[in-house]
Amino acid sequence: MSDSTMKRGFRLAVAVGAAAFALSLVQPAIAEEFVNTGYFGDVAIKGYDPVAYFTQHQAMQGSAKYSHQWLGATWHFASAENRDLFAADPAKYAPQYGGYCADGVSFGTVTTNVDPKAWRIIEGKLYISYDPGAADGFEKNPTKLTDSQKHWSDVERTLVTEKVQKNWQAPSAN
């Protein structure tokens, strides 16, 4: 084997190794579902009970006393019964788009600050918005739902990018 062939092989191996390493940093973020926990802490939808929207037809503040861990977030509930319903089928009760503003997603943007009292159940799914006007518009304009479904993959990519950048910029524990 010639010297130049060995050098090319070595460069190729280094390039493949570097690409595999970079992918290993990004892949966990891609596989992860995103849950809006606001700017601080790890509590989903500002501590409101996602089951109550369906069973009591209102936004109800949950309690840490009745909590459940799912997708890296803490979910609060108004009762043990609601917590158990959620634990049995979280996808049935969890807000669409991880609790990010549904109206914002319809424009392809990430809106973290939501108002859990600005909500709608449409076609059996919970959508939360940043204010009551946005929730009304989301419900009354069917293209908003279609647009949000179309843009969600772009919003997820934005969330992945933000998470990777945040993890990259975070100081090492070592």
State the pTM of this model. Answer: 0.75
Closest listed residue to residue 24, CA positions, set 167, 156, 171: 167
Report the b/e string of 59-74 with b at 16+ CB within 10 A: bbebeeebebebeebb
Banded pLDDT at 121 (limits 50, 70, 90): very high
Structural tokens at position 31: 């596989």
Mean pLDDT over 91-104 rounds to: 95
Q: Write down the pLDDT at residue 41.
A: 83
